[in-house]
Chains A and B, each alone.
Chain A
Amino acid sequence: MGTVFSFDVRGGEPAAVRAALAEAVAGLHRADALFSTYRDDSEVSRLARGELDVPECAAEVAEVLELAAEAERVSQGWFSTRYQGSLDPTGIVKGWAAERAARALAAVAGVRGVSVNGGGDVQMLGAPEPRRPWRVGVADPLRPGGLAAVISAAGTRELAVATSGTAERGAHIVDPRTGRSAVTDLVAVTVVGPRLTFVDCWATAAFAMGSREGLAWLESLPDVEALLITAGDEVRCTGGLAARLG
């Protein structure tokens, strides 16, 4: 799991914010050390080999596995923490870690707004300025340099935006039912909702489902809106997305 996180924190005492940022960064490194399937010595690798049981792991491992089980249940198995038969919660960890970092930063006294971008998935809390909401562009997978939409957090204190797609590196989403690259008519799915931990999972699941089933399923989820872009350059949205554009 190699990825970049960037933080945007508004308000608060600089020294307190810096200390909280250092803690947030340490928390991300710790998440990588616990969950990376690329590290033989991570707790998740040891769990997968049967060298550890969940109760012996750090508390975060149980927390993430519980959230992942919920994501798997809500997505009817389309989001999965198993890859080629072995435990791989990578799909949920990035969003969870970014959301956790954002919430820790927002708890610092005087902080009025936090935006954390973890590899293109964003958790926003509060607002950057008193009368300006956070705004996130959604990269258009079919038009170099273009934005497919701009999502605004106006009117809400918590909003997350996650995008799954094939645009840059070819298919990297696996259909949990076949174990192969997902056969889908989509090139990108962007999901908007309060918690990054889940919208990230929903984007992955809906991508694997394809546009018809994915859109119907996303529409059924409370507090979730989405934008789906097909290989044929059709844009399909959930009914309430318009209220989040801006």
Chain B
Amino acid sequence: MHALNKHRPLRRIVLASAATVSGTVLLLALKPHTVPTVVTANTRPPAASGSSSPGTASGSRTVTGDTVQTRWGPVQVRVTLRDGRLTDVTAVAYPQDNPRDQEINSYALPRLRSEALQAQSAEIDSVSGATYTSDGYRRSLQSALDSAGL
């Protein structure tokens, strides 16, 4: 186990990138699907690319990632950053077309949220064990971090 350096700036753990790193992400062709109902928790329309809110007095700011189409529907996340570190990740859009989607997301989204937060604190470079929904989530998360200039 390596000593954790708590003051290290945000490393793009789940998303793989850093100052000296060339990172890129792509989405391979998805199986066509019908567009399901999207639950949107924010009033802002889904951004075509990541959008950022101005900093607040507390020094934290939120950034909304791209809407990413997954096989089961669109996924979009918003991150909260404070002093260059990720402090929260929430899903603002996710598939909720049927009871099974709702069941999966009630389980998967909290898991993905803490996975992103934990990855940052565990000093790891990548996470093994993801499938479709989390891929969309990660891609949206990456676009949010890209927009945040991290």
Contacts and interface: CB of A to CB of B under 8 A. Distances in A.
A137 B28 contact: no
A139 B128 contact: yes
Counting chain A CB atoms within 10 Å of each CB, the highest count among B125, B130, B139 belongs to B125
B98 interface: no
Interface in A217-241: none
Interface residues of B, number: 54
B110 A1 contact: no
Nearest 5 interchain pairs by C-beta: A145-B114, A120-B130, A2-B30, A144-B111, A139-B129
Contact of B134 (A21, A28, A29, A168): A168
Contact of A120 (B30, B71, B100, B131): B131
User: Interface on chain B toward A: helix, strand, loop, or mixed SS?
Assistant: mixed
Given A6-B138, A38-B29, A145-B115, 5 more contacts: A6-B15, A6-B23, A21-B24, A25-B24, A169-B104
B58 interface: no
Contacts of A163: 128-129
A4 B128 contact: no
Contacts of B129: 120, 138-139, 141, 163, 165, 167, 188, 190
A39 interface: yes
A39 to B, nearest CB: 7
Interface string A24-44: 010011001000101100000
